[in-house]
Amino acid sequence: MATVEEGLQAQLRNIAASTGRPIEEWVALIRGSGLRRHGEIVAWLKAEHGLSHGAANRLALTALATDTPSSSADPVAELFAGRPAEVRAIGDRLWSEVQGLGDVEVSPKKGYLSLRRRIQFAMVRPAAKHVDLGLVLPDRPVTPRLESAATFNALFTHRVRVRSVDDVDGELTGWLREAWDRAG
């Protein structure tokens, strides 16, 4: 079975083959258009160049990715850069617990880290004065500490607002391990 990256590369090869234009040329064309927003680029590629939505979407994402500085080798450091020391300390403590779980795939997103095993089980998102931990624990009841994630993020069942390093206690790490176990 092909990996996601192999699939994306195959899609780019197909676009280049079907249009007769190398991907680097498409990226240069997009840059020269002056457009910087994904939706605008997709609409322009479809209207001006007759591309399908899928091809326009992939080219827009590719061009925008080349404009983005390469991400840090440490997604945790990158996510918490510039945050207050207290928030960074909470993030560091949570991260040490995540690393102790075992195999975890970390996927940096805009403003948070998605944590996956076989499937996504948690997310870590810094806020102004705390860190939000989203968890997938479908059978767990909501409590004052283990809040519903309904208004937070629909991908998760629960949210914990981690307000201090001391909040990363046995109860919280138990929930984190339970979510990780269920994702395997």
Give strand pairing partners of 131.
Answer: 126, 162
In this predicted model, what pLDDT tens digit does every residue of 101-146 receive, in sequence order?
999 998 888 889 999 998 999 999 999 999 999 999 999 999 999 9
Domain boundary among the residues 38, 67, 96 is at: 67
Q: How far apart are CA 3 and CA 19, in angstroms?
A: 24
Same domain as 109, residue 42: no
Same domain as 171, residue 92: yes
Q: How far apart are CA 10 and CA 23, in angstroms?
A: 12
Same domain as 138, residue 53: no
Q: How far apart are CA 36 and CA 58, in angstroms?
A: 15
Q: How far apart are CA 18 and CA 32, in angstroms?
A: 22
Domain boundary among the residues 18, 45, 67 is at: 67
Same domain as 52, residue 133: no
Domain boundary among the residues 67, 87, 117 is at: 67
Same domain as 97, residue 37: no
In this predicted model, what pLDDT tens digit does every residue of 30-66 receive, in sequence order?
988 888 888 999 999 999 999 999 999 889 888 887 6
Same domain as 152, residue 85: yes
- Number of domains making up the chain: 2
3-state class (DSSP) for residue 92: helix
Same domain as 107, residue 58: no
Q: How far apart are CA 168 and CA 93, in angstroms?
A: 7
From the list 118, 169, 158, 115, the residue with the least C-alpha distance to 136 is 158
Same domain as 155, residue 79: yes
Same domain as 157, residue 94: yes
Please report the pLDDT score of residue 73 as a whole number: 65
Cα distances (angstroms) measured from residue 166 to each of 28, 112, 130, 156, 181:
50, 21, 12, 23, 23
Structure tokens at 93: 């403590």
Domain, as residue range, for 96: 75-182
With cut-offs at 50, 70 and 90, classify the pLDDT of residue 69. Answer: very low
Confidence (pTM): 0.62
Give strand pairing partners of 158.
Answer: 135, 148
Residue given tokens 């992939």 in the structure block: 58
Same domain as 110, residue 35: no
Same domain as 126, residue 83: yes
Query: Residue 2 pLDDT > 70, yes or no?
Result: no
Same domain as 166, residue 109: yes
From the list 122, 123, 132, the residue with the least C-alpha distance to 182 is 122
